[in-house]
Amino acid sequence: MVEFGQFSLCIAWLLALAVVIGGGVVGSGARTTPARLESLRRGTILVALTLGTSLIALGYLFVTNDYTVQYVWQYSNRDMPWIYKITAIWGGMDGSMLLWCFLVAAFSACVALRSRVYPRAIVAWLFSFLSSSTLFFTTITLFLTNPFRYLKSPVVMPDGNGLNPLLQNEYMAIHPPMLYLGFTGLAVPYAFCMAALASGQMSNDWIRLTRRWTLIGWTFLTAGIVLGGHWAYLELGWGGFWAWDPVENASFLPWLSATAFLHSVMVQERKGMLKVWNIFLIVLTYALTVFGTFLTRSGIVQSVHAFASTDIGWTFLVYLSTIIIVALGLSIYRRTELKPERAIESFFSREAVFLLNNLVLLSICFAVLWGVMFPVFSEAVTGVKQTVGIPFFNAVNVPLFLALIFLMGVGPSIAWKRSSLPQLLRSFAVPFVSAFVVAVALVFAGVVEFYPVLAYSLSFFGLMTILGEVQRGLSAQKGITHAGTWSPANLTTLWRRQRVKYGAHVIHFGVLIMTVAITASMAHKIEREFTLAPGERFSVGRFSLELNEFHEEQLANYEAIQAHVTLRALTSETPLEVLVPEMRFYRKNKETTTEVALRMGQREDVYLVLAGVDETGTKASMKVFVNPFQVWLWYGAIIMVVGGIIVAIPVPRGAKVRDSVSDKVAQSV
Amino acid sequence: MSFGIIASLILSLFAVWFVLSPLFEPPMPNFAASPSDGPLGPLLDAKERALRAIKDLEMDFSMGKLSQEDFDQSRRTLASEVAAILADIERHGGEG
């Protein structure tokens, strides 16, 4: 199976190379015959299939405990449950690179499968640029981080080292693949953009196609980031979900630039403006995904998530430079076609708000990037590595995020082209007054800190603008259908006709819920440390905790000490739940981890960590966090992902024909 | 010969056949042609954008985001823009 996996990888590499060169030759030639395009299309699909077989071969080696292979020996052992043997495929650098190769190739194959409906002028270049991403990652996997290398040992090892205990968590089955799907999905818009530039086919077609593929990548990335936050919340035991860790930031950076693109692309589709800006955003997004991979694998920054320091960082820098140079060269070559067709007419227009939104998103992006790279810069300049922590990121980004929430409320409610001031006042009067009332009510309720009050009231402002949009949409729908009265059919028709728009509102609604949850967890979190003997109690917030007993467990993979703690409301003796935080000692890895005990509630989470047991074994040191509205963060994220799916679903071709308003408008003018 | 080597050989033969066979098969249907592929491409794009702008304008107006005065003025401008583009397309031999 080792030979088969290795050989599949070789075939994938050769095919990817052939498609990169073939696509370039066919794309730049005068005749792009159907046979040549079909051959390239099949090549692109086959790269994914061969990488898939290679990945399956690696999985087989893990499941069958083949410790002749170095990677399998390093990241698994016989006692690990089979699910962790599967997740161990991406538990280390070599396997994660292979998974990456497969996913980028799989996205390329999906594009290839749909490519018959894409403009033929760009498809050859499209295959070439898609496969160039696969080629780069496959080159690294094949020549530098090959997971099929044999272990250099005179005897076959009876057992492996085992997976890092922190990664032995069910979220690791879904979080990394989801994040990688996001990263690799964003290679598709880049390929479309480069193909359009290379072929000179700069019409609206490519930008329309790119928007949908960006949405797909963005939705996966959103899910991946939030799942990572959930994993950190459950596994790392510090009571939070986001620590502005360099690797967390690395996934957040392309999310920010992709979000900016998803807004500015609408301006290009409608107005023919921001063409260069959109190319910049697409290239930046892809470059940031590569940069993120570089960060995790080069060892230049310290992180709980980072893979061990390796010497492949330079390859990413070379590839990153190539991406930027090619994009810059093609943009300069096509500069005539990239001239804007018109300018922004008024500051009070949706396009102006979208541009502002882009500037805020990129400011956040720059601030985060600066924070991530500061240790590297400081070491280069002063010789001392200095890091910036959570206070820096919060101080810079909180005001910017609040500005973004404000713009999120304003954007959809303002007209394209231009709006008059009286019209704006009429549109925003109710949301503004409601937000003001919320702010006053919060102050009277004892919430007096500036940022939380602003965050809550801006979230309410955003919610009111969304509701206002739906209400105005329904009113307009009544006018269109001439029914004059409201009925559920109005809502269905509105949803069908404006699905993308209302899908975006669903995403915005998710963001607002997350904003409230994040604000609550930042501003009103309670954190306490205490020591208890069995029978003793400790009070925190509106709860009391009583230590009942200790319990020891021996499992195949680890041994554990558990503390059984009864949670009660302060006002009652009735137990709400018995929380069981534990400390685990993984024998193979010789590592100790903490397993959090969590009581999730709509109002707050009670999060209990067993920090240690004293030498006599009679007292436990514990840490408790009461995190208000925490569960709403996950609800908000789910709503965002659902919104992303709603927007990304393609419009049925028949519906496009039926809804060809353009033709009616054309006749009327 | 091990299973791995036999499987690898079969896979490579399949890869060669799968990728190269279209080059030796009878002519096959072409990939989609975009209306914007031809010389009229930029004009057709401009037409589509202008019509969409009218559609957006009407939607914004029906949702109360524009005053009657702003709507009338913008619609007049956009309508004359569309008319000019359609005339241009007809002049270049296309169907408006």
* pLDDT digit string, tens, across residues A129-150: 999 999 999 999 999 889 998 8
ipTM above 0.85, yes or no: no
Residues of A with Cβ-Cβ distance to B67 under 8 angstroms? 420, 422-423
Nearest CA in chain B to A47: B15
User: Tens of pLDDT along B34-66?
Assistant: 656 666 777 787 888 888 888 888 888 888 788
* Nearest C-alpha neighbor of A23 from the set A184, A183, A134: A134
Query: Can you give the three-state secondary structure of A494-556, one letter per residue?
Result: HHHHCHHHHHHHHHHHHHHHHHHHHHHHHHCCEEEEEEECCCCEEEECCEEEEEEEEEEEECC
User: Tens of pLDDT along A212-259?
Assistant: 899 999 999 999 999 999 988 988 888 889 989 888 899 999 999 999
Q: How far apart are the CA of B23 and the nearest CA of chain A, in angstroms?
A: 5
> Which residue did the predictor score with more confidence, B20 or A220?
A220
Given a cut of 90, is residue A408 above it in pLDDT? yes
- Are the CB atoms for A73 and A161 separated by under 8 Å? yes
Helix, strand or coil, per DSSP, at residue A371 = helix
**Mutation choice for A interface testing from B2, B28, B60, B89 by most A CBs within 10 A:** B60
Cα A336 from Cα A192, distance rounded (Å): 19
Residues 6+ apart with CB under 8 A from A383: none
- Are the CB atoms for A647 and A503 separated by under 8 Å? yes
Pick from A371-380, A391-400, A619-628: least confident: A371-380
Given a cut of 80, is residue A153 above it in pLDDT? no
* pLDDT for the residue numbered A669: 46
Q: What is the mean pLDDT of residues A271-288?
A: 91
Nearest CA in chain B to A7: B8
Given a cut of 60, is residue A83 above it in pLDDT? yes
Q: What is the mean pLDDT of residues A432-447?
A: 93
- A577's enclosing H/E stretch is strand A575-579
- Are the CB atoms for A188 and A150 separated by under 8 Å? no
Given a cut of 80, is residue A429 above it in pLDDT? yes
- A404's enclosing H/E stretch is helix A390-410
Q: What are phi and psi of A591, to 5 degrees?
A: -125, 145
User: HSE (CB half, 13 Å, CA atoms) of A587?
Assistant: 13
User: HSE (CB half, 13 Å, CA atoms) of A126?
Assistant: 28
Nearest CA in chain B to A114: B31
Given a cut of 90, is residue A579 above it in pLDDT? yes
Percentage of residues of chain A with pLDDT beyond 90: 48
Structural domain spans, chain A: 2-335, 526-630
* Helix residue spans in A416-449 (DSSP H): 421-444
User: Tens of pLDDT along A591-643?
Assistant: 888 889 999 999 999 999 998 888 887 888 999 999 999 999 999 999 999 99
Cα A668 from Cα A565, distance rounded (Å): 73
* pLDDT for the residue numbered A482: 54
Cα A94 from Cα A101, distance rounded (Å): 11
**Is the torsion defined by CA of A110, A115, A117, A119 positive or negative?**
positive
Closest partner residue to A118 (CB to CB) among B5, B31, B36 is: B31
* Nearest C-alpha neighbor of A408 from the set A375, A361, A339, A340: A361
Under the banding of pLDDT at 50, 70 and 90, the label for residue A303 is low
Percentage of residues of chain A with pLDDT beyond 70: 93
User: HSE (CB half, 13 Å, CA atoms) of B95?
Assistant: 3
Residues of A with Cβ-Cβ distance to B22 under 8 angstroms? 35-36, 38-39, 42
* pLDDT for the residue numbered A659: 44
* pLDDT for the residue numbered B26: 66
* Nearest C-alpha neighbor of A627 from the set A519, A515, A521, A513: A521
Residues of A with Cβ-Cβ distance to B20 under 8 angstroms? 39
Pick from A6-10, A373-377, A391-395, A437-441: least confident: A373-377
> Which residue did the predictor score with more confidence, A230 or A427?
A230
Based on its alpha-carbon atoms, the radius of gyration of chain A, rounded to whole angstroms, reads 27
Q: Residues 3..62 of B with a Cβ closer than 8 Å to A: which? A: 3-5, 7-8, 11-12, 15, 18-20, 22-23, 25, 27-34, 36-37, 41-42, 44-49, 51-57, 59-60, 62
Given a cut of 50, is residue A291 above it in pLDDT? yes
